[in-house]
Amino acid sequence: MPRPQPRTITFTIDGRDVSAPENTMLIDAARQGDVEIPAFCYEPKLGQPVGACRMCLVEVEGIPKLQTGCSTPVKDGMVVYTQGERVKSAQQAVVEFLLLNHPLDCPVCDKGGECPLQDITFGWGGGISRFIEPKRHFVKPLELSPLIAIDRERCILCYRCVRFSQEISEDYQLVLLERGAHSYVATFDGHPYVAPFSGNIVELCPVGALTSRPYRFRARPWDIEGAGSVCTLCPAQCNVTVTVRDERALRVLARENGEVDDGWLCDKGRFAYQSFHVDERITEPLLRDGGRLRPVSWERALQQAAAGLARAGASTGAIAGDHSTNEEGLILARLMREALGSPHIDSRRASSLPLELHRALGAPGLQAKVSDLEFAHAVLILAADPVNDAPILDLRLRKGVRRHGLTLAVASPAPSSLDENAATTVRHAPGAGAIFAAALSAALTDDEDAARLARDAGAEPEAVRELAALLRGPVDDVPDTGETPPREVVILWGERLAAGPNGEAGIRALLKIAEALGMGGVEGAGLLEVPATSNGRGLREAGALPNAGPGLSEPASAGRDTRAIAEGLLDGELAALYLLHCDPLRDLPDSELWGRALASAGTVVAHAAFLTEGIREHATVVFPAEVYAEKEGTIVHPDGRIQRLRPAIAHPGSVRSEWQVLAELAGRVGFDLDLLSGAMASRQLFESVPFYAGLTLEEIGGRGVRWQEREAAASFPTPAGVTSAAGKLEITDTPADALELAGFRSVWDAPEVEFSPALGFLFPHRELA
């Protein structure tokens, strides 16, 4: 859908002329003139205003009744008063009404000091209450879920939380019961409110009625600091503010960035910070000694690791995983290629793709942004399950369907949380995503193989045909009136499309689909990948690939991909393994193969924050790894937005930065990486990747920049004619990729979830061991 292009108008507020985009609500427009209109129920993130709290009443010339600023669109020439007697008295009255039954227990309230009700009472209230009846009292606080407590005395019935449940996460679990003054927020028959995004209601609540149980009574606003960073717990990379007290993370809040997260967080992002401070966290180097890992000094650990790597030299393999920054990817690649002379580095879980395909997939003209998911005409989800792969995108797609008439299509092997919102859902056999893509591409190009491929993929040929028609959109019901704007279609696809024997064919099919739908160069259309790791895109662009150097350049020599590294360890071709934030047993496909590979590796050096199975059983040296809140560096959002991590809390124990350890090791094997600070690492990155050229940390700032939107994007090695890369599709006949997929885990299946005390209940019980 085309995005609205608002016109700027001028209106008068409290005697001053102010310009604002036409039809923005008065409350927002007033801010342009530095006038604050108080509000409780208004929250544009929640959709249309509801006008319930009546706090925002203002006087508009020509209208007899006071109007709600939250729902009155501003028009040219409008004359508004917010300071007159009538407005003041109405505002004081609403504050008085809201406080009638409010317990005023601010001294023991978590919200105290950062409470809109306090602020508005202070700023707009009358200062006295004439209410002398006894207030209502209830047992409090009560559990609403393992994560959230509810204090119904404090609730001012602004409806934000129930609107969130109904209109944003659409889980319809949190509702109002009864009516009038008896209304209260509750769930059905005492069931807990458990949903992937439930924690947002804590942040939405303008009073202390909904509080985070892990945060309750941990701090007061004046002894905490907020530190902005980016969550790396999944590829969605939501922007966050970490609440810090005494160098500990006490809370994570959303830091709204419309181009990334829309101001929401999933419960993992919001509550997994607890895992940063648990006893299970590794905080000092460990060395395997007599079959067991024991704490040792850094010196000892570094020396042992360096010795092992030096011994293995070119027969070292390296894998970078979740939470690795671009800089770490770059330095790891340099350690491997330049210091050890080994080309065997990878950061992907799926089997290797030819470099030209990486380039074709990354071509700037073919990239969709997150906000395109909302405004596109149609979105197809292919080999991805947003709520389990990059949760926040699930909310964005719901918003697109609900508010902007987005047509959503889901192709998946199993029911997904978005099926209800989809205009069409097509099922295919597990692991047959690539063949399905081939079938769809055939259907779009009227290839006679379409039906056969659909059947091979375990899908209904008719359904695939219909999907193709839906993506193409209505062709001739709109008469051609010259300039018809191009149709914007986005394909949200998961890295697992490229897994298994047909992976490459799947990617070629994807590129053909993109071509058939004319996505190239169309603003608002394109591909959006959900990588299997949180910084998958950045690591590839930094050169952590077996067949690409920084900036997807041709490397001096090609190395082994992830799977081939395992095979190399097994057959003795490789002697050492370097694991950066990766436990092959839980993170990579085919854990059986990896179990044997790790057992036969000579040296396994790992950076890890938790002793997960593979590390515990097989690592020779373990360096205590940073969590994202401790890291500095950059990561790349799946849509190309380079974002900056800033350390919010101090390293616990003797944890050191990964870049530092990598540089130290390179030094010890005789190669100087010339790195003295994290900023120098970033500079090296920007210099090594041609399409990042000229970037600075300042330019990235708090909101990030999409490199595709910078001039240097021109130096991206776009293959001549993106689709020339998409030759004949070669499909092997059996969809035997199911096992390969086992390594693609839900983001909820992570140590950060497992080890966070309050969040642990969401940790899925694994069926495939």
Partner 1 sequence: MSTVPRYDHGSRVPGWDRPADLDKDPAGIPDPATTEVPDSLRQEIEAHMANYPESRSATLPALAAAQRVHGWCSPEALEQVACVMGVTPAYLESVASFYDMLETTPVARHSVYVCTNISCSLRGADALYEAIRQAAEDGAGGGSDINVRSFECLGACDIAPMASVDGVYVGPLTESDVPRLLEDVRAGRPVLAEKQLARRRVADPRANTREFPPHPIEREREGD
Partner 2 sequence: MAATGAPLLLFTDIDEPGLRTLEVYERRGGYESLRRALEMTPQEVLGQLEASGLRGRGGAGFAMGKKVSFLPRGSMDKYLVCNADESEPGTFKDRELMQKTPHTLIEGLVIASYAAGVNCSFIYIRGEYRLQADALDAALSEARAAGFLGENILGSGHSLSLLVHRGAGAYICGEETGLLDSLEGKRGNPRLKPPFPANQGLYQGPTLINNVETLSTVPSIIRMGGEEYAKLGVETSTGTKLVSVSGHVTRPGNYEIELGIPAREIIYGLAGGPPEGREVKCWFPGGSSSPVLTAADLDIPYDFDSLAKARTMLGSGAIIVVDDSTPILNVALKVARFYRHESCGKCTPCREGTNWTVKMLERIASGEATPMDLEIMASVQEHIMGNCLCVLGDAMAMPISSMIAKFRDELEAHIESARASRGLEGLAGSELVPVAQGAA
The whole-angstrom separation of Cα 285 and Cα 371 is 42
Of 3, 75, 86, 191, the one binding partner 1 by CB under 8 A: 191
**Smallest gap, in angstroms, from Cβ of residue 137 to partner 2?**
8
CB 568 within 8 A of CB 306: no
How far apart are CB 90 and partner 2 at their closest, in Å? 5
Question: What kind and span of H or E run contains 540?
Answer: helix 536-541
Would you say 42 or 594 has its CB closer to ligand FES? Answer: 42
Single-letter residue type at 79: V
The interface region with partner 2, picked from 43-51, 457-465, 671-679, 705-713 by CB under 8 A, is 43-51
171 binds, among partner 2, partner 1, ligand FES, none (CB under 5 to 8 A by kind): partner 1
152 binds, among ligand FES, partner 1, partner 2, none (CB under 5 to 8 A by kind): partner 1
Q: Is 333 in the site for partner 1 (CB under 8 A)?
A: no
Q: Does 79 bind partner 1 (CB under 8 A)?
A: no
Closer Cβ to partner 1, 72 or 173, answer by number: 173
Q: Which is nearer to ligand FES, 55 or 360 (CB)?
A: 55
Sole binder of ligand FES in the list 39, 411, 470, 539 (CB under 6 A): 39
Contact between 12 and 78 under an 8 Å Cβ cutoff? The reply is yes
3-state secondary structure string across 605-641: EEEECECCHHHHHHCCEEEECCCHHHCCEEEECCCCE
Q: Among residues 56 and 582, whose Cβ is nearest to ligand FES?
A: 56
Distance CA(497)–CA(389), nearest Å, equals: 13
98 near partner 2 (CB under 8 A) = yes
- How many residues contact ligand FES, by CB under 6 A? 12
Side-chain-facing half-sphere of 169: CA atoms under 13 Å? 27
What's the Cα-to-Cα distance from 94 to each of 100, 117, 124, 125, 255, rounded to whole Å?
10, 11, 9, 8, 30
The correct pick among 2, 44, 83, 100 for binding partner 2 (CB under 8 A) is 100
**For residues 268 and 607, which CB has a smaller minimum distance to partner 1 in the complex?**
268
> Among 3, 63, 73, 172, which residue interacts with partner 1 (rule: CB under 8 A)?
172
Judged by beta carbon, residue 41 or residue 408, the one nearer ligand FES is 41
CB atoms within 10 A of CB 256: 15
Residue 184 makes contact with partner 1 by CB under 8 A: yes
Question: 146 touches which of partner 1, partner 2, ligand FES, none (CB within 5 to 8 A by kind)?
Answer: partner 1
**By CB under 8 A, residue 765 contacts partner 2:** no
Q: Which two tokens stand for residue 429?
A: 């056999």
56 contact, one of ligand FES, partner 2, partner 1, none, CB 5-8 Å limit per kind = ligand FES
Pairing of strands 316-320, 576-580: parallel
Closest CA to 308 of 621, 538, 590, 598: 621
Q: Does 477 bind partner 2 (CB under 8 A)?
A: no
Considering the complex, what minimum distance in angstroms separates the CB of residue 762 from partner 1?
11
- CA gap 340, 336 in Å, rounded: 5
**Rounded-to-integer distance, Cα 375 and Cα 373, Å:** 6
Q: Footprint of partner 1 on residues 203-262 (CB under 8 A)?
A: none
Identify which range of 130-138, 304-312, 378-386, 638-646 contacts partner 2 by CB under 8 A: 130-138
Q: Which two tokens stand for residue 122?
A: 């202070």
Q: Which of 53/585 has CB closer to ligand FES?
A: 53
What residues are paired with 493 via a beta bridge? 382, 529
Give how far Cα 139 sits from Cα of 154, 163, 310, Å.
Answer: 12, 25, 65
Considering the complex, state which of residue 89 and residue 654 has its C-beta at the smaller distance from partner 2.
89
Torsion angles phi and psi, residue 493, rounded to 5: -125, 150
How many residues form the binding site for partner 1 (CB under 8 A)? 32
Q: Which region among 14-22, 126-134, 647-655, 751-759 touches partner 2 (by CB under 8 A)? A: 126-134
- Indicate the pairing of strand 621-624 with strand 407-412: unpaired
Closest CA to 597 of 562, 621, 625, 627: 562
Nearer to partner 1, 193 or 755 (CB): 193
Where residue 742 falls (left for φ over 0; alpha for ψ -120 to 50; beta otherwise) is alpha
Q: Which is nearer to partner 2, 50 or 429 (CB)?
A: 50
Taking the C-alpha atoms of residue 572 and residue 619, their distance in angstroms, rounded to an integer, is 17
Q: Does 159 bind partner 2 (CB under 8 A)?
A: yes
Chain residues 120-149 in contact with partner 1, contact rule CB under 8 A: 134, 136-139, 142-146
Nearest-approach distance from CB 166 to ligand FES, in angstroms: 17
The amino acid at residue 145 is S
Nearer to partner 2, 74 or 759 (CB): 74
Q: Does 207 bind partner 2 (CB under 8 A)?
A: no
Q: How many Å apart are CA 750 and CA 232, to the nearest integer?
A: 12
Closest CA to 330 of 680, 704, 696, 42: 680
Indicate the residue whose CB is closest to ligand FES: 70
User: 3-state class of 235 per DSSP?
Assistant: coil
Residue 194 found at the interface with partner 1 (CB under 8 A):
yes
765 sits near partner 1 (criterion: CB under 8 A): no
Over its C-alpha atoms, the chain yields an Rg (Å, rounded) of 28
Residues 43-102 that bind ligand FES (CB under 6 A): 51-56, 68, 70
Give the separation between CA 495 and CA 507, rounded to whole angstroms. 10
If binding is defined by CB under 8 A, does position 423 make contact with partner 1?
no
Of residues 31, 88, 152, 403, which one binds partner 1 by CB under 8 A? 152
- Asked if 129 touches partner 2 (CB under 8 A), the answer is no
Q: Considering the complex, what minimum distance in angstroms separates the CB of residue 515 from ligand FES?
A: 48
Q: Whole-angstrom distance between the N-terminal and C-terminal Cα of the chain? A: 44
Token reading at 179: 């009516």
Taking the least distance from each CB to partner 1, the nearer of 79 and 142 is: 142
177 lies in the site for partner 1, by CB under 8 A: yes
Residue among 29 and 320 whose Cβ is closer to ligand FES: 29
Minimum CB–partner distance for residue 75 and ligand FES (Å): 18
> How far is it, in rounded angstroms, from Cα 279 to Cα 540?
33
Shortest spacing between CB 185 and partner 1, in angstroms: 10
CA angle 742, 725, 333 (to 5 degrees): 60
Give the x-and-dash track for 173-192 against partner 2 (CB under 8 A). Answer: ---x-xxxxxx---------
Closest alpha carbon to 310 in 276, 328, 335, 293: 335
Residue 642's φ and ψ, nearest 5 degrees, are -85, 120
Q: Is 108 in the site for partner 1 (CB under 8 A)?
A: no
Provide the H-helix boundaries in 34-168: 85-99, 116-124, 160-163
Long-range contacts of 565-570 (CB under 8 A, 24+ apart): 565/317, 565/318, 565/319, 565/344, 565/346, 565/597, 566/590, 566/593, 566/594, 566/597, 567/593, 567/597, 568/315, 568/317, 568/344, 569/317, 569/597, 569/598, 569/600, 569/601, 570/596, 570/597, 570/600
For residue 394, the minimal CB distance to partner 2 (Å) is 24
Peptide bond before 141: cis, by omega within 30 degrees of 0? Answer: yes
d(CA 387, CA 407): 18
Q: Pick one of partner 1, partner 2, ligand FES, none as the site partner of residue 39 (Cβ within 5 to 8 A by kind).
A: ligand FES
188 binds, among partner 2, ligand FES, partner 1, none (CB under 5 to 8 A by kind): partner 1
Please identify which residue in 85, 189, 480, 483 interacts with partner 1, judged by CB under 8 A: 189
Q: How far is CA 41 from CA 46, 100, 117, 157, 182, in A?
A: 10, 18, 11, 9, 18
Interface with partner 2 (CB under 8 A): 49-55, 57, 65-66, 68, 71, 89-90, 93-94, 96-98, 100-101, 130-131, 133-137, 156-157, 159, 176, 178-183
Interface with partner 1 (CB under 8 A): 134, 136-139, 142-146, 152, 171-179, 182, 184, 186-195
Interface with ligand FES (CB under 6 A): 39-42, 51-56, 68, 70
